[in-house]
Amino acid sequence: MSTLVRGWSSAALRVSPELRQGLVLTSVLALLAGGGRIVAPLTVQRTVDAGLGAHPVGAAVAVGAGAVLVAGASSMVLNRRLHHRVEGHLAALRRTGLRRVHSMPAATVDRTPSADLVARLTSDVDQVTTFLQGGGIQFVTNAAQLVIATVILLVYSWQLALPVLVLAALLIAVMMGMQRLIARRYDVARRDLSRLQSVIAESIAGGAVIRSTGTEDRTRAKLDDAVDRARDSLLRTLPPLHGNTSLGELTISAMTVTVLLGGVWWSLGGNPPRLSAGEVVAMVFLVTFFVRPLQFLVQSLGEAQNALTGWRRALELAAAPSAEVPGGAPLPGGPVEVRLRDVSARYGDGPLVLHDVTVGIGAGEHVAVVGRTGSGKSTFAKLLTRRLDPAGGTVLLGGVPLDRLAPTARRVVIVPQDPFLFDGTLAENVRLGSPGGDVVRILSELGLHDWFATLPDGLDTRVGLRGERLSVGERQLVALARTALADPDLVVYDEATSGVDPATDVAVQRALAVLTRGRTTVSIAHRMLTAETADRVLVFDAGRIVQSGPHDVLVREPGPYAALIEAWSHR
Ligand SMILES: Nc1ncnc2c1ncn2[C@@H]1O[C@H](COP(=O)(O)OP(=O)(O)OP(=O)(O)O)[C@@H](O)[C@H]1O
């Protein structure tokens, strides 16, 4: 448990090193806020023991009143300070987490549902704020108050304080055991809630497909199942929570009764009385001051646990390993040479989907990768762009093994089948990775200037959310222009399988021919023209490269490539 907490705190300090600053002032404020309140019972004791007369207790009442004022002011300053610190930390946590999402290995991002990443940066962090605003921030004052009350109780009468402390120790021991159970159940609950978010997001994003395929019932069943699971796992956190609350209340009542009855009995048992009437009354008050923080702890255990789970999930994301290789070698300049030696690949624990792939792609070469569906083309592309780590063998870019390579952003670029566009204008999307880039020049070079000029607002045409106002082919044109402007040294181009009309296809082919000039290109080809224009064709079948050579040669050999060309020509 303590190693776990130490791990969390060091992760938190890495995110927000400023949390370390001003700890002494925070502790002093907490002691003043907690201790100031405790002066009140001492004043009561003086007043009762002085026979409730006004004159002798004037000074004690004045000290008591002053202490209460100091406690109030310290508590106000402390709460403000803690709120600022914690909210600053949560903001840093969100920023670091988001940066980590962008720097973590692409393979990890691909494996994690995006709703889970979103939840860790939004609702999970919100849980901490909700807890703090619900009174959680007073935890520090309460803890100080608990310590001071314990000391004063012991000074008044350790014999009376002892049963109170034993009861408190028992309560804490039971609560810690229960807390572990609650933590496990909250963990499951948050995972189920995160899964529910994924299912909801998927069913909203895929709404059109669901309607057109008539799978509303199946989707609804999946959604119902996710809702039921989330509800059930949240309900499972309640019994131990309620158990803890009842146990806490019971122990607290037992403490008060023990001090009241025990105090009377103990003080009257001696001659002269062991405790004055004022001291017994003060001890009953002190028990209240001792008990209140415990009560708060018990009552807010659920929210505290929820907040802790949320905080931990956000911290996990902020501390997730980055793709950056410490001291990694930079990719040598110029077009990139690609080499794979005995490479195999699999997804998770599944079977191997690529076997013993050994191939070299020369610097500046344009290679088309072809094969039937499921033959391993995309997996090959994922290995080159680090969206998947090889299960065996070595992948080298520019002679450097991938696991020793520094980040290759901007040097190695993938043009996906359906590129992602941000809501904005065409020009903004083309200029995305190259803010000062000359969009008009690059479009002219790619032969796309006329095509862009035919659009209603030319380069200022807005593309809509995710580029929904453009067709798939048009989105690929924008992505090709974006890539050409970024001027990478290795391009992995995943050709769109459908949704491209003949005119756009011509524009795409023309732009691709320019883009491939002077840089290494790997095109996953679904059209004969793309394979024909490449320097070499790699034919994949069942996860192996079964043919390699120029189109003109392969097309004349009997084999899978000739069969593929035959199938394409009949489409
Ligand atoms: N994310 C994944 N998880 C598990 N298996 C996968 C995953 N992606 C692909 N596969 C499996 O790996 C094998 C190769 O798939 P891959 O996508 O590389 O083929 P492909 O040739 O690109 O097919 P297509 O032309 O249909 O895109 C297939 O058996 C496929 O089912």
Element (H, E) at 96: helix 54-103
- Section 522-533 average pLDDT: 88
- Furthest-apart CA atoms within the chain: distance in Å: 117
State the closest ligand 1 atom to the C-alpha of 380, by its place in the atom list counted from 1. Answer: 18
The dihedral formed by the CA atoms of 317, 323, 328 and 330, expressed in degrees to the nearest 10:
-130
The dihedral formed by the CA atoms of 481, 486, 489 and 495, expressed in degrees to the nearest 10:
-30
Give the least confident one: 170-174, 281-285, 300-304, 488-492.
Answer: 300-304
Give the least confident one: 74-83, 335-344, 532-541.
Answer: 74-83
Beta-carbon count within 10 A of 104 CB: 18
Residue identifier of the C-alpha nearest atom 29 of ligand 1: 374
* Residue bearing tokens 């927000």: 16
State the closest ligand 1 atom to the C-alpha of 526, by its place in the atom list counted from 1. Answer: 25
For residue 108, how far is its CA from the centre of ligand 1 (angstroms)?
Answer: 17
The strand pairing partners of 413, in sequence order, are 491
With a cut of 70, say whether residue 279 has pLDDT above it: yes
For residue 378, how far is its CA from the centre of ligand 1 (angstroms)?
Answer: 7
With a cut of 70, say whether residue 5 has pLDDT above it: no
Residue identifier of the C-alpha nearest atom 25 of ligand 1: 373
Q: What is the pLDDT of residue 498?
A: 66
- With 0-12 CB in 10 A as exposed, 13-18 as middle and 19+ as buried, what is 211? exposed
Q: Pick 569 or 152 by higher pLDDT.
A: 152
Residue identifier of the C-alpha nearest atom 26 of ligand 1: 373
Mean of the per-residue pLDDT values of the chain: 83
Residue identifier of the C-alpha nearest atom 9 of ligand 1: 379
With a cut of 80, say whether residue 113 has pLDDT above it: no
For residue 477, how far is its CA from the centre of ligand 1 (angstroms)?
Answer: 25
On whether the CB atoms of residues 168 and 258 are closer than 8 A, the answer is no
Q: What is the pLDDT of residue 564?
A: 87
Alpha carbon distances (Å) from 564 to 146, 371, 376, 498, 567: 78, 7, 15, 17, 5
Say which residues have a Cβ less than 8 Å from residue 316's Cβ, sequence separation at least 6. 120
What does the angle CA 421 – CA 427 – CA 432 come to, to the nearest 5 degrees?
55
Strands across the sheet containing 400-401 = 352-361, 338-346, 392-397, 400-401
Q: What is the pLDDT of residue 298?
A: 66
For residue 369, how far is its CA from the centre of ligand 1 (angstroms)?
Answer: 14
Report the C-alpha gap between 370 and 378 in whole angstroms: 10
Strands across the sheet containing 366-371 = 412-415, 490-494, 520-524, 366-371, 536-541, 544-549
Listing DSSP states for 477-519 in one string gives HHHHHHHHHH--SEEEEE--SS---HHHHHHHHHHHHHHHTTS
On whether the CB atoms of residues 185 and 233 are closer than 8 A, the answer is yes
Sign of CA dihedral 364, 414, 338, 568: negative
Report the C-alpha gap between 88 and 119 in whole angstroms: 19
With a cut of 70, say whether residue 53 has pLDDT above it: no
Pocket test residue of 377, 383, 538 for ligand 1, highest count of atoms within 8 A of CB: 377
On whether the CB atoms of residues 128 and 309 are closer than 8 A, the answer is no
On whether the CB atoms of residues 482 and 497 are closer than 8 A, the answer is no
Q: What is the pLDDT of residues 234-249, one digit of tens each?
A: 999 999 888 887 888 8
- With 0-12 CB in 10 A as exposed, 13-18 as middle and 19+ as buried, what is 212? exposed
For residue 388, how far is its CA from the centre of ligand 1 (angstroms)?
Answer: 12
With a cut of 80, say whether residue 309 has pLDDT above it: yes
Q: What is the pLDDT of residue 54?
A: 52
Q: Pick 264 or 19 by higher pLDDT.
A: 264
Both structure tokens of 190: 């948050």
Indicate the angle between helix axes 54-103 and 23-49, nearest 10 degrees: 160
* Residue bearing tokens 């088309």: 368
- Section 378-391 average pLDDT: 89
State the closest ligand 1 atom to the C-alpha of 543, by its place in the atom list counted from 1. Answer: 14
For residue 430, how far is its CA from the centre of ligand 1 (angstroms)?
Answer: 29
The C-alpha R_g of the chain, in whole angstroms, comes to 34
Alpha carbon distances (Å) from 372 to 92, 358, 393, 416, 550: 47, 20, 24, 18, 18
With a cut of 80, say whether residue 211 has pLDDT above it: yes
The dihedral formed by the CA atoms of 481, 485, 487 and 488, expressed in degrees to the nearest 10:
-50
Pocket test residue of 379, 493, 539 for ligand 1, highest count of atoms within 8 A of CB: 379
For residue 306, how far is its CA from the centre of ligand 1 (angstroms)?
Answer: 39
Domains of the chain: 2-318 (1.20.1560.10), 338-569 (3.40.50.300)
With a cut of 90, say whether residue 212 has pLDDT above it: no
Percent share of the chain, pLDDT over 90: 17
Say which residues have a Cβ less than 8 Å from residue 170's Cβ, sequence separation at least 6. 251
Assign 360 a pLDDT band (cuts: 50, 70, 90).
Answer: very high
With a cut of 90, say whether residue 543 has pLDDT above it: yes
With a cut of 90, say whether residue 341 has pLDDT above it: yes
With a cut of 60, say whether residue 55 has pLDDT above it: no
Paired sense of beta strands 490-494 and 412-415, if any: parallel
- Section 247-263 average pLDDT: 83
Does the ipTM surpass 0.90? Answer: yes
State the closest ligand 1 atom to the C-alpha of 110, by its place in the atom list counted from 1. Answer: 1
On whether the CB atoms of residues 34 and 293 are closer than 8 A, the answer is no
With a cut of 90, say whether residue 255 has pLDDT above it: no
Percent share of the chain, pLDDT over 70: 94
State the closest ligand 1 atom to the C-alpha of 540, by its place in the atom list counted from 1. Answer: 21
On whether the CB atoms of residues 310 and 190 are closer than 8 A, the answer is yes
Is the peptide bond preceding residue 272 cis, with omega within 30 degrees of 0? yes
Pocket test residue of 372, 375, 523, 539 for ligand 1, highest count of atoms within 8 A of CB: 375
Report the C-alpha gap between 281 and 301 in whole angstroms: 30
Give the least confident one: 37-51, 53-67, 356-370, 395-409.
Answer: 53-67
Q: Among residues 84, 202, 177, which one has the least CA distance to residue 132?
A: 84
For residue 294, how far is its CA from the centre of ligand 1 (angstroms)?
Answer: 56
For residue 6, how far is its CA from the centre of ligand 1 (angstroms)?
Answer: 42
For residue 136, how far is its CA from the centre of ligand 1 (angstroms)?
Answer: 49
Q: What is the pLDDT of residues 67-79, one digit of tens each?
A: 888 888 888 888 8
Both structure tokens of 297: 């702890």
- Residue 38 exposure: Cα atoms within 13 Å on the Cβ side: 27
Q: How far is CA 333 from the centre of its chain?
A: 35
On whether the CB atoms of residues 28 and 142 are closer than 8 A, the answer is no
With a cut of 90, say whether residue 343 has pLDDT above it: yes
Instruction: Report the phi/psi class of residue 22: left, alpha or beta, with left for phi > 0 and alpha for psi in -120 to 50.
Output: left
Ligand 1 pocket, residues with Cβ under 6 angstroms: 347, 350, 353, 371, 373-379
Q: Among residues 86, 349, 16, 316, which one has the least CA distance to residue 194?
A: 316
Q: What is the pLDDT of residue 396?
A: 92
Residue identifier of the C-alpha nearest atom 10 of ligand 1: 347
For residue 66, how far is its CA from the centre of ligand 1 (angstroms)?
Answer: 74
Alpha carbon distances (Å) from 14 to 9, 91, 96: 9, 14, 10
Q: What is the pLDDT of residues 409-443, one digit of tens each?
A: 678 888 888 888 888 888 888 888 777 778 888 88
On whether the CB atoms of residues 265 and 160 are closer than 8 A, the answer is no
Q: What is the pLDDT of residues 468-509, one digit of tens each?
A: 888 888 888 889 999 988 888 999 998 877 666 777 778 888
With a cut of 80, say whether residue 35 has pLDDT above it: no
With a cut of 90, say whether residue 101 has pLDDT above it: no
For residue 524, how far is its CA from the centre of ligand 1 (angstroms)?
Answer: 13
Listing DSSP states for 204-221 in one string gives HHTHHHHHHHT-HHHHHH
The strand pairing partners of 396, in sequence order, are 339, 401
With a cut of 70, say whether residue 453 has pLDDT above it: yes
Give the least confident one: 124-128, 191-195, 301-305.
Answer: 301-305
Q: What is the pLDDT of residue 57?
A: 63
Q: Among residues 396, 434, 341, which one has the least CA distance to residue 520?
A: 396
Residue identifier of the C-alpha nearest atom 24 of ligand 1: 373
Give the least confident one: 282-296, 438-452, 538-552.
Answer: 282-296
Assign 537 a pLDDT band (cuts: 50, 70, 90).
Answer: very high
